[in-house]
């Protein structure tokens, strides 16, 4: 039992509410006194970056999407809804369908690959090994994404690593058509996105209080039941973050389908890129981009509503 | 003992070179409130985990209600634990926490009435819909108890369940815990490093030191008749002499020379409310601790100051023999 008198004389050592109310005695009071200017200073770079690099382009695109396309990429004044009407033409809807399908499949496969990885690193690996394993997850980022996607072309093409190996072993006699297929796009996507799934799931599993798992076992739950009733729900924030981080970029991806998917594999990302590039139709490209953004926001909103109704915390 | 619910037989558990539990043999009776008392790191938690099934002994046997539980996983042992930091499931409501283990019990399958009754028993009625982070420390403690007791374990293991509470609440919970144990009649094994808590709650106590049980006995036996210097010291009997020990509150101070007294000088005095604790340096250099009851009326003894000469006496019958 400690002497309360001794404690209160040493406010820096305790975190009791009493010592925090004492004016002028803590560093935080210094910040509070000059708080207004100080906080503005701190937040300004964030607003500058967000405003210039994110909000302004978004506003320009929104404006563009209501203009008309002229000859040779010229922009003629609107306003018009024609671009949005064109968005829902069947040919384009098929592209959206394919994009959603690829994004969903990528996300599901990433989840199935990443969960065991994150689980192993967070809960099973020896502590001194963890940093090494995490580094291995992150190492691909040291090389340009473009270079890594080209590497996949060399692995998957007819004379590539896989086909040469299988033919040398006599398992196949004709090269398998791997490159320029949906499978190739999926492989490239999953490969690119796995770290974005592993890291948030790892972070929430790492925070998991092990004694909760023991408590579950103690109350009679087997290993599987403890996993489904304790680990999975408590790692849900990280899992949702991973799903969002993988699904959204996958929906808009254009490099992977461009390089690994070939001409038939066009996705919505390629469509938008084309309109800004060879097709010289920025207004239509902007309309598709805005529609895609609206679709993603609608999905996030639907999820947040559903989660809130179930009484879960949502941090999106 | 005729009705033994738990028997530990020369149980041994090492972590690397450290013996966490070393040759522990214990018998605990059905319905008993048993305390494991000892300083930090003496192996109390490890012993509980061996019983709960989170650790396997290197040697020796754990026999639960007549059955050797070697190799039986934690989830299949008829034993439940109240964890030191409660380990409540933060994503579940109080009621769902309490109901967590019910589905693994074929006899009692998610009976809402059982849950309500258990919440009433631990005085949490009306809080079933709260999440754990909306509860006070004492309330969390009760959820942890309810969650374990609803499964009617043969033995309830409690690992320093009150350590995180403030002093006043701890005293209240001690009373409540004792009453609860009487009411449900379940065997409690209670870990603590607080000797006063062990004495207040338990029927019998095992004092542990460095992985070994130094002494097992009723609270009175442990307090009045310690076998070893360690137990005596841990129970606050700190005045060691050749072959015996005397508790500080059994010694008397005198301001004038008294027949058969040990003469010394007051080294320090600490006022503790009900009592005053004196340190006296005897003529032979030995430091004696004397605790005097305060009666509020100043007398020759209470006016003594550090440096004053003083005489210490005690009665022969208060000498506890010790090697
Ligand atoms: N998993 C483990 N790995 C290695 N050593 C351990 C492990 N668990 C316990 N020990 C060691 O075993 C000894 C007993 O630990 P234990 O946790 O049982 O002590 P305790 O009596 O519960 O202490 P406290 O009162 O501090 O909780 C300590 O020396 C501890 O360092
Ligand atoms: Mg412990």
Flag whether pLDDT at B266 surpasses 90: yes
- Show the beta-strand stretches assigned E in A134-245: none
Q: Which whole number is the average pLDDT over A200-221?
A: 95
Is-contact B243 B321, C-beta < 8 A? yes
Q: What value does the mean pLDDT take over residues B98-127? A: 84
Chain B residues lying within 8 Å of A312, measured CB to CB: 91
Please state, in angstroms and rounded to a whole number, the distance separating the CA atoms of residues B210 and A69: 84
Q: What is the pLDDT at residue A2? A: 39
Distance from CA of A230 to the nearest CA of B (A): 7
* CA atoms of A273 and A251, how far apart (whole Å): 13
Best CA proximity match to B35, nearest among B227, B240, B235: B235
Ligand 2 centroid from CA B45, angstroms: 4
Question: Each residue of A5-57: pLDDT tens digit?
Answer: 433 334 344 344 444 444 444 555 555 555 567 777 777 888 889 888 999 99
- Give B237-321's CATH code, choosing from 3.60.40.10, 2.40.50.140, 3.30.1540.20, 1.10.4160.10: 2.40.50.140
- Whether ligand 1 lies within 6 angstroms of the CB of B42 is answered as yes
In CATH, the architecture of B4-230 is 3-Layer(aba) Sandwich (3.40)
pLDDT at B112 over 50: yes
Read off the pLDDT of residues A296-307 as tens digits, 9 standing for 90 and up.
Answer: 999 999 988 888
Q: What is the mean pLDDT of chain A?
A: 85
Report yes or no: B183 and B149 within 8 Å, Cβ to Cβ.
Answer: no
Same fold, B4-230 and B237-321: no
| Assigned token pair, B267 | 């080294």
Decide if pLDDT at A253 tops 80: yes
Q: How far is the CA of B22 from the centre of ligand 2 (A)?
A: 16
pLDDT of A11 reads 39
Residue B252 dihedral angles phi and psi, to the nearest 5°: -120, 150
> Are the beta carbons of A87 and A291 closer than 8 angstroms?
yes
> Residues 6 or more apart from B39 whose CB is under 8 A from it?
B193, B209, B234
What is the average pLDDT value for chain B, to the nearest integer? 92
Give CA–CA dist A111/A279, Å, rounded: 36
- Ligand 2 center to B9 CA (angstroms): 21
Size of interface A-B (CB pairs under 8 A): 61
> Is residue B156 over pLDDT 50?
yes
Confidence of residue B2 (pLDDT cuts 50, 70, 90): low
Return the higher-pLDDT residue of A31 and B212. B212
Which atom of ligand 1 sits closest to the CA of residue B44?
A: 21
Contact with chain B for residue A233, Cβ under 8 A: yes
SS3 at position B13: strand
Nearest CA in chain A to B148: A219
Contact A214 B83 (CB under 8 A): yes
* List of residues 6+ apart from B209 with CB closer than 8 A: B38, B39, B42, B230, B234
Burial track B115-132 (b if 16+ CB lie within 10 A, e otherwise): beebbebbebeebbebbb
Length of chain A: 316
Ranges of each domain in chain B: 4-230, 237-321
pLDDT at B254 over 70: yes
Task: Give A-chain residues touching B101 at CB under 8 angstroms.
Answer: 219-221
| pTM, full prediction | 0.81
Q: What pLDDT does residue A181 have?
A: 87
- A140-144, B110-114, B152-156: which has the minimum mean pLDDT? B110-114
Domain ranges of chain A: 4-64, 87-309
Q: Quick one: fold of A87-309?
A: MetI-like fold (1.10.3720)
DSSP per-residue codes, B53-74: TSS--SEEEEEETTEE-TT--G
Residues A258-278: tens digit of each pLDDT: 889 877 778 899 999 999 988
């Amino acid at each position: 039992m400690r002497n309360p008198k001794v404690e209160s004389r040493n406010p820096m050592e305790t975190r009791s509410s009493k010592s925090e109310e004492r004016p002028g005695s803590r560093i935080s009071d210094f910040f509070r006194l000059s708080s207004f200017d100080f906080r503005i200073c701190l937040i300004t770079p964030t607003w500058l970056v967000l405003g210039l690099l994110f909000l302004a382009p978004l506003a320009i695109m929104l404006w563009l999407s209501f203009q008309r396309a002229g000859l040779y990429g010229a922009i003629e004044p609107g306003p018009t809804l024609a671009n949005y009407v064109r968005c829902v033409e069947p040919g384009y809807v098929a592209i959206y369908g394919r994009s959603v399908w690829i994004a969903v499949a990528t996300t599901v496969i990433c989840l199935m690959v990443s969960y065991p990885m994150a689980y192993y690193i967070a809960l099973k690996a020896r502590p001194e090994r963890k940093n090494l394993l995490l580094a291995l997850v992150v190492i691909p980022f040291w090389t340009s994404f473009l270079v890594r996607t080209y590497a996949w072309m060399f692995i998957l093409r007819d004379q590539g690593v896989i086909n040469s190996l299988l033919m040398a072993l006599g398992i196949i006699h004709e090269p398998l058509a791997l490159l320029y297929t949906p499978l190739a796009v999926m492989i490239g996507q999953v490969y690119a996105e796995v770290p974005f799934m592993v890291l948030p799931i790892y972070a929430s599993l790492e925070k998991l209080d092990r004694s909760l798992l023991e408590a579950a076992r103690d109350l009679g739950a087997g290993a599987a039941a403890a996993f489904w009733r304790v680990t999975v729900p408590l790692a849900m924030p990280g899992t949702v973050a991973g799903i969002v981080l993988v699904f959204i970029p996958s929906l808009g991806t254009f490099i992977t389908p461009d390089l690994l998917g070939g001409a038939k594999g066009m996705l919505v990302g390629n469509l938008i890129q084309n309109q800004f590039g060879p097709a010289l139709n920025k207004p239509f490209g902007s309309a598709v981009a805005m529609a895609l953004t609206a679709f993603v926001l609608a999905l996030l909103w639907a999820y947040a509503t559903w989660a809130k109704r179930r009484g879960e915390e949502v941090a999106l | 003992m005729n009705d033994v619910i738990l028997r530990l037989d020369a149980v041994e558990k090492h972590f690397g070179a450290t013996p966490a539990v070393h040759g522990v043999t214990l018998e605990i009776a059905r319905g008993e409130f048993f305390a494991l008392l000892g300083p930090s790191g003496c192996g109390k938690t490890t012993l509980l985990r061996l019983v709960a099934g989170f650790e396997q002994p290197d040697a020796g046997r754990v026999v639960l209600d007549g059955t050797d539980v070697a190799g039986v996983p934690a989830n299949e042992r008829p034993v439940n634990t109240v964890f030191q930091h409660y380990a409540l499931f933060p994503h579940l409501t109080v009621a769902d926490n309490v109901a967590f283990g019910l589905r693994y019990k074929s006899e009692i399958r998610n009976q809402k009435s059982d849950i309500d009754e258990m919440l009433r028993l631990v005085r949490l009625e009306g809080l079933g819909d709260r999440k754990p982070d909306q509860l006070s420390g004492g309330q969390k403690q009760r959820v942890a108890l309810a969650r374990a007791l609803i499964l009617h374990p043969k033995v309830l293991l409690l690992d320093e369940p009150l350590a995180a509470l403030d002093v006043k609440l701890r005293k209240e919970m001690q009373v409540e815990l004792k009453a609860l144990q009487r009411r449900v009649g379940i065997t409690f094994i209670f870990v603590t490093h607080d000797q006063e808590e062990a004495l207040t709650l338990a029927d019998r106590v095992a004092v542990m030191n460095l992985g070994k049980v130094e002494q097992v006995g009723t609270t009175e036996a442990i307090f009045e008749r310690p076998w070893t210097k360690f137990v005596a010291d841990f129970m606050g009997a700190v005045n060691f002499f050749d072959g015996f020990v005397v508790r500080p509150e059994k010694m008397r101070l005198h301001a004038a020379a008294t027949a058969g007294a040990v003469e010394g000088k007051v080294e320090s005095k600490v006022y503790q409310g009900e009592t005053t604790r004196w340190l006296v340096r005897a003529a032979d250099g030995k430091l004696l601790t004397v605790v005097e009851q305060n009666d509020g009326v100043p007398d020759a003894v209470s006016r003594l100051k550090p440096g004053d000469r003083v005489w210490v006496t005690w009665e022969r019958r208060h000498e506890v023999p010790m090697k």
